[in-house]
Amino acid sequence: MEAQELQQLFFRHIKSILPPNISLADEIAERLNISNDSAYRRIRGDKAISLEEIQTLSRHYRISLDRLMNIDSDAIIFMGKHAGAEHFDFAAYLEETLMNLKMINAAQNKMLYYEAKDLPIFYYYQFTELAAFKYFFWIRNVLCAPEYSKVRHFEDNELQEVIYKTGREIIKTYCQIPCAEIWGAESLHATLRQIEYFKDTGVFKKKESIELVFDQFRQLVEHVREQAECGEKFLVGEKPRGDGQNYKLYYNQVFLGHNSVLVDTDGITTAFLNHGVMSYIATRDSSFCEYTRRSIENTMKKSALISAVSDKERNKLFNLLLDKIETEREQILK
């Protein structure tokens, strides 16, 4: 392929990433700090793009040049920010989550697939104390952020205000995105073990706090059960609109090994992998995304669709989950 053709291919790929209402020339001019006329000349291939400009654009749009140019390579380019222990900014962390969901929701055609070893964190945001418990555990015991490690008791954390402010917007946005989730009988396991650990190590100062976390955990599961019954996502305290089917829930009775997400937005596919509990890395590498799609589809084939259909299988899963919560509650509070 000639250099001019490669350059035109490069810009066509960038155009495919941009929302339909964004001008490619305007975008390139802004990113490279050049005039629109200069941007047009580069897009057409009339003027050669420099290596420095390729680096700037590839970094901004997260483009893997070896994949784009069909270079035989085992390298896969991932993007992501790691949650750091030093000076961890919880508000910024939630704002970035919200921004990513809004970008997905802005697409005209969109679909999200979530293979959930643990329950999708988005649902927790409707239950402030439960969400605060999850993040306090992660930040204090997994991330080991110094300022949070010094907080002795759960009741003394200051996460609720941020969760109430931004978390509500996160779950509202998530509810607007059509999705298919795959749950298993072990999807509650991590949270139940975390509650037990905090109780055994004295992080809960009050028995009432444990009861509140259990109450909200049960409410979360019961709410998702309502979503599954009607095949639609909606907020706690609201009624389903009944004007569409945007929620599919699958029950896998064997094993879900990880939390992974695949998102389709206007012909662009992105795979997200969870790592370090609180962080995600993402890639648009076509071969990796296709591999992830096949993996998720294979899991779905081995699972039972329980949203809007199959009352028996749906009741089987949710009765099992709710029984687990009550059994753990009795054991921990006895």
Calpha distance 128→130 (Å, rounded): 6
Separation of alpha carbons 182 and 190, rounded Å: 16
Phi and psi angles of residue 280, each rounded to the nearest 5 degrees, phi first:
-130, 145
Residue 150 has pLDDT above 80, yes or no: yes
Mean pLDDT over 83-89 rounds to 75
- Is residue 79 scored above 90 in pLDDT? no
Residue-level pLDDT at 74: 63
pLDDT value of position 87? 73
Higher pLDDT, 81 or 137: 137
Closest C-alpha to 202, from 154, 145, 160, 168: 154
Contact 167, 128 (CB under 8 A): yes
Residue closest to 314 by CA, chosen among 247, 268, 214:
247
Beta 110-115 vs 179-184: how paired, if at all?
Answer: parallel
* pLDDT attached to residue 65: 66
**Residues listed for the chain:** 334
pLDDT of residue 112: 97
Q: Judge whether residue 170 has pLDDT over 80.
A: yes
* pLDDT tens digits for range 16-74: 777 777 889 999 999 999 999 999 998 988 888 888 888 888 888 777 666 555 545 56
pLDDT of residue 187 exceeding 70, the answer is yes
In order of start, what are the domains of the chain with their CATH numbers? Answer: 3-68 (1.10.260), 90-333 (no CATH)
Average pLDDT of every residue of the chain: 88
Q: Quick one: pLDDT at residue 287?
A: 85
3-state secondary structure of 262: strand
Mean pLDDT (whole number) for 175-182 = 95
Q: Using CA atoms, how far apart are residues 219 and 113, in angstroms rounded to an integer?
A: 23
Percent of the chain surpassing pLDDT 70: 94
Percent of the chain at pLDDT > 90 equals 53
Residue 8 banded pLDDT, cuts 50, 70, 90: confident
Q: What is the mean pLDDT of residues 310-330?
A: 92
pLDDT at 137: 94
Give me the DSSP letters along 63-126: --HHHHTT--------B--PPPSTT--HHHHHHHHHHHHHHHHTSSSEEEEEE-SS--GGGGGG
